Structure 1
Amino acid sequence: MSAPPDPRRDWLSLLARSAPERLAEVLPALPNHALLRAPETGTVMVQGRVSATGAPFNLGEMTVTRCAVRLDCGTVGHGHVQGRSHAHARRAAVVDALMQTEDAPRLTPLLEGLRTTAQAARDLRAAKAAATRVEFFTLQRGEDA
């Protein structure tokens, strides 16, 4: 059984995966906000799975930056991004907070632009990977039959 759709989870994922420059284009000027948690950088353990479905194992650590903000209207937003970009984490937190206010309809088309860009990048990576695909097959020799 699949989980019900969660729009906030989806936009937080999109913000985390977006390029910092593209996110800055979506929201060039940050509205007034207070820092609840200033941007801070740390590491998290990344897990993998054997054959993508088997037992989990620790793959290694990844650098992440997180931030939490409160808008003047009282809405709280969180940002978690890969890497060390404090500006990216702060901007993601502000966008998260704005998406929980009446500004969401104004920002939704801009986030769809981020989603389109991300999908195009995934498609390009998939096409490059497909071009290197090798098909293996076995020939049976006559005397082995």
Structure 2
Amino acid sequence: MSATSASPSSAMRRAWMAVLAHTPRAELEAALSQVLEGVSPPEFDWLRPPETGLAMVRGRIGGSGDAFNLGEATVTRATLRLRNAAGAAPVGVACHLGRDRRRAELAAFADALLQLPEQHARLHDQLIEPLAAQLAAQRAARRHDAASTRVEFFTMVRGD
């Protein structure tokens, strides 16, 4: 949190939005309902209800060369504003690959809640950190599986 404002830094927000964007709906829904258990969630207004569209995916030749259009990907996005009587109402945004509208709703709602100073620490500890750890474990497992299929080649030199 910045000393001059109550809002989180953009790097912190990018980090939690990445976690929300990569978490499957069932896991996000279960984690969010567990965190909000016994608490009445704030009401919100849709600024942009969940909608699905296409985004152009671009690549670079050799990873750093000229850009080219690789193809299109289906993307779902949503934007909402919490009804917050005390102070400025935070705006939650979500964007992820795929067509899951409910997942976009949940991610936008979680993003808005994480911007509330009184909710941020608790939600970050109970929602974002466990989901981030779970995603990191899944990535590590995929890396381990891929590494187990790695083949190392070497050349033997025949006698002089």
Tell me the TM-score normalized by structure 1.
0.87
Q: Is the 8 A contact 1:26 1:111 kept in 2?
A: no
Name the Cα RMSD after superposition.
Answer: 1.9
Matches within 5 A, 1:1-145: 6-28=11-33, 31-73=42-84, 74-102=89-117, 103-109=119-125, 110-142=127-159
SS of equivalent residue, structure 1 residue 57: strand
Deviation at 1:60, TM superposition (A): 1.6
Deviation at 1:139, TM superposition (A): 3.4
Q: Distance in 1 between matches of 2:60 and 2:158?
A: 38
Q: Distance in 1 between matches of 2:10 and 2:51?
A: 30
What is the identity, as a one-letter code, of the residue corresponding to 1:95?
A: A
Q: Distance in 1 between matches of 2:20 and 2:77?
A: 12
Unaligned runs of 5+ in 2: 1-8
Q: Distance in 2 between matches of 1:84 and 1:111?
A: 22
The percentage of counterpart residues that share the same residue type is 43
Tell me the TM-score normalized by structure 2.
0.80
Runs (4 or more) in structure 1 with deviation over 4 Å come to none
Total equivalences in the alignment? 140
Q: Distance in 2 between matches of 1:42 and 1:100?
A: 27
Deviation at 1:140, TM superposition (A): 3.6
Deviation at 1:62, TM superposition (A): 1.0
What is the identity, as a one-letter code, of the residue corresponding to 2:112?
A: A
Q: Distance in 2 between matches of 1:31 and 1:135?
A: 56
